[in-house]
Structure 1
Amino acid sequence: METPTSARRLDRLPKAHLHLHFTGSMRHSTLVEMARENGIHLPQALVTEWPPKLHATDERGWFRFQRLYDVARSVLRRPEDMYRLLREAAEDERAAGSGWLEIQVDPSGYASLFGGLTSTLELVLDAARSAERETGVAIGLMVAANRTRHPLDAKVLARLARQYAGRGVVSFGLNNDERRGRALEFEGAFRIARRAGLLSAPHGGELQGPRSVRECLDELRADRVGHGVRAVEDPRLVERIAAQGVTLEICPTSNVGLGVFAELEHLPLRRLFDAGVPIALGTDDPLLFGPRLVEQYRIAREVFGFSDPELAELARMSIRGSGAPESLRKELLSGVDTWLAEEPRG
């Protein structure tokens, strides 16, 4: 919980969290506990040396990042583990002032344990509903395809997501290493998802540059782009993103943790915001990077000099870019106005 200062408390600013991976949302203490219960050996990078030192802009670094992620996913063995993960994720969101969590999951990663793709997705949806009831944080699911797998696998997931559109699934994504699967190869899957009314939210512009973001816009009709920070290398592309109102899901500590930028100060957060680009701050995988959502807003304040009115606008952008029901959007936006109208606490 944030300590009150002369500025308004960031954990009381209503917001939406749009970029959080399922396994990556796990608390570190929960990872260690589940591994011990299930007899799974964790590498030191996930125990005494946590959070791990990562640098994934080269193939070897990305392989290490993915290996650690896969080890973490392996501790989720039982249905009750899935329920616990989502309950704790929602508790963390509530503590951060988040009223909407849009968490992304690839059911393929758990299907062998839980009886197939459909039953896995239904398990996650039920766990999300349970977490909502216990915490009051509304949760929507993004079904996300893996760009390192065949595009036909993505179509299978898109058809699955289509079945649950309006029943908890609100968006369709595309993740993993951009260097191993271009966005244009997955146009068919995203066409299926868009026709079902799901938001299009592929990753792009993280490990690769403007072309990756442009393909997300041209081929996948992206409503949001996961990361998208390297769009800044093409001023015309930045103008287009702003004009089209495409939200970039920017994850500061992740971008530095993976070596996309060497220092937080190098992140183009201020440049993109000043250019009129809608931005939703996210955490990506706090299990591997450490800081959670409030810390991303604190970075905007302390590193980039965002004022409270600007932080409020960042929160509004996250809410407007979300798949939350309109009634909840209005409630959260009203809460942002209330937060800004209050006098800072000294």
Structure 2
Amino acid sequence: MRQSSGEQPPYPSESVRDVRLLPKAHLHLHFTGSMRPSTLIELADKYGVHLPEALSGGEPPRLRATDERGWFRFQRLYDIARSCLRSPDDIRRLVREAAEEDVRDGSGWLEIQVDPTSYAPRLGGLIPALEIILDAVESASRETGLGMRVLVAANRMKHPLDARTLARLAVRYADRGVVGFGLSNDERRGLARDFDRAFEIAREGGLLAAPHGGELSGPSSVRDCLDDLHAGRVGHGVRAAEDPRLLRKLAERGVTCEVCPSSNVALGVYEKPADVPLRTLYEAGVPIALGADDPLLFGSRLAAQYELAREHHGFTDAELAELARQSVRGSAAPPDVREKLLADIDHWLTP
């Protein structure tokens, strides 16, 4: 396995295929966290928002969220960035630029995750906020050619009744581009089963259940996502690698784990990229969809996660292609989009 200095290798390489040209689906990207750093700086200047050095210094902030103080700092930076999104034009710009970045990284399908309650106060309320977001997604998809949908996520730091309200709203807009329902924020707080009714509402409405689990908390949080919330996908899920029985359960059920290697290292879940248990999950037969999580804070986007798998875990081009296939199969993309992406992945491998 080649050793990495931490910098991305030059493109294209003579010995390996360019991962930016590998067709793939992106299933774990948070809304504000998808913002370009340059856009954040421009919006902050526009609205007179003071950005701390961690957000304006040109380098990803140093974060370690494995303790309460570290998570609070991460959340505070995220909240400051979100406060710079104040108008429908800001929302449209963020979504269009996120789509452009994904297209540049070879994504053919993006499911962007958002809690619309976070934007409602500045956008006229909860329903207007979601409609503005969905309109922006539809426009960006049309302009860039990227298949794009929305996963509405509840905040586990809030009351479960709020999650039920969001689940009903998500179901109401299933025909406008909402494909799934999630649960985000610090998984160490509260119990997954407190949100079981919200996920039942979402599933009954035909939405995919995709809660976060198995990042800051151990294998039990992944098990709770499966048993209490009947997850079809798990956001992160990497800590399942610590429990062989749980790995078998994920593999047997075909539950995709949305693994975000750069995020795991940035938040201190693992010390270095080679410690992320990508190989363990992959060889156990657990479907994986690599994701960028919050590029604004972690400094790397989708293609970089595939490069990390290559550089630090020895994934061959054939194995990278299989990771891309798993991302497509785990998505909510319609059959024709899946078929085209899978065919294009095979073409990427053709000499």
1:46 aligns with 2:58: no
Please say if 1:303 is aligned against 2:309. no
Aligned counterpart for 2:109 among listed residues 100, 106, 109: 100
Q: 1:289 aligns with which of 274, 298, 313?
A: 298
C-alpha RMSD over aligned residues: 1.0
Encode CA deviations 1:139-190: one digit per residue, 9 max, x unaligned.
1100000000000000000000010113200000000001112211100000
Asked if 1:214 corresponds to 2:237, the answer is no
How many Å separate the matches in 2 of 1:195 and 1:335?
Answer: 33
Could you list the per-position Cα deviations for residues 76-106 of structure 1 after superposition, in whole angstroms to 9, with x for gaps in the alignment? 0111000000000000000001010000000
Partner of 2:274: 265
Name the amino acid aligned to 2:170.
A
Matches within 5 A, 1:33-72: 33-48=42-57, 50-72=59-81
Of 100, 103, 115 in structure 2, the residue corresponding to residue 91 of structure 1 is 100
User: Displacement, 1:40?
Assistant: 0.6
User: What secondary structure is seen at the aligned counterpart in 1 of 2:292?
Assistant: coil
1:18 aligns with 2:38: no
Equivalent of residue 173 in structure 2, options 154, 164, 170: 164
From 78, 93, 104, the equivalent of 2:87 is 78
- The equivalent of 2:122 in structure 1 is 113
Letter matched to residue 4 of structure 1? P
Aligned to 1:230: 239
In 2, the alpha carbon distance for the partners of 1:92 and 1:123 equals 21
Q: One-letter code of the match for 2:72?
A: F
> How many Å separate the matches in 1 of 2:50 and 2:59?
15
SS in 1 for 2:63: coil
The offset of 1:49, in angstroms, is: 5.8
Give the superposition deviation at 1:35: 0.4
Report how far residue 337 of structure 1 moved: 0.8
Deviates more, 1:162-171 or 1:140-149: 162-171
How many pairs align? 342
1:50 is displaced (CA, Å) by: 2.8
Q: Work out the CA distance in 1 between the residues paired with 2:251 and 2:175.
A: 28
What amino acid is aligned across from residue 3 of structure 1 in structure 2? Y
Q: Is the counterpart of residue 275 in structure 1 residue 284 in structure 2?
A: yes
1:314 deviates by 0.2
Does the Cα contact within 8 Å between 1:44 and 1:50 map onto a contact in 2?
no
How much has 1:41 moved relative to structure 2?
0.4
2:214 aligned partner: 205
Report the AA paired with residue 260 of structure 2: C
In 1: Cα distance, 2:61 partner to 2:12 partner: 30
Task: Pick the aligned partner of 2:161 from 152, 155, 164.
Answer: 152
Partner residue of 2:249? 240
Counterpart amino acid of residue 206 in structure 1? E
Q: Residue in 1 aligned with 2:4?
A: none
1:255 paired residue number = 264
Alignment-mate amino acid for residue 210 of structure 2: A
Distance 2:190 2:124 in 1: 28
Question: Deviation digits for residues 261-315 of structure 1, max 9, x if unmatched?
Answer: 0111111001110110000000110000001001000001111000111000000
| 2: CA distance, partners of 1:281 / 1:196 | 27
Unmatched segments (≥5 aa) in structure 2: 1-7
SS in 2 for 1:85: helix
Q: 2:132 aligns to what?
A: 123
Q: Deviations over 1:11-32 (max 9, x none)?
A: 1110000000000000001001
SS in 2 for 1:323: coil
Q: Provide the rounded CA distance (Å) in 1 between the counterparts of 2:335 and 2:178.
A: 15
The CA distance in 1 between the partners of 2:334 and 2:301, in whole Å, is 24
Please give the secondary structure, in 1, of the residue aligned with 2:348.
helix
Equivalent AA in structure 2 for residue 184 of structure 1: R
Could you tell me which of 174, 187, 198 is aligned with 1:178? 187
C-alpha separation in 1, matches of 2:198 and 2:109: 26
State the secondary structure of the residue aligned to 2:44.
helix
Taking only the aligned residue pairs, the percentage that are identical comes to 64
Alpha-carbon distance between aligned partners in 1 of 2:11 and 2:187, rounded to the nearest angstrom: 39
Q: C-alpha separation between the residues in 2 aligned to 1:231 and 1:245?
A: 14
Q: Are positions 1:143 and 2:174 aligned together?
A: no
Aligned equivalent of 1:4: 12
Q: Which amino acid aligns with 2:302?
A: L
Opposite residue 316 of structure 1, the aligned amino acid is R
Q: Name the aligned partner's letter for residue 324 of structure 2.
A: A
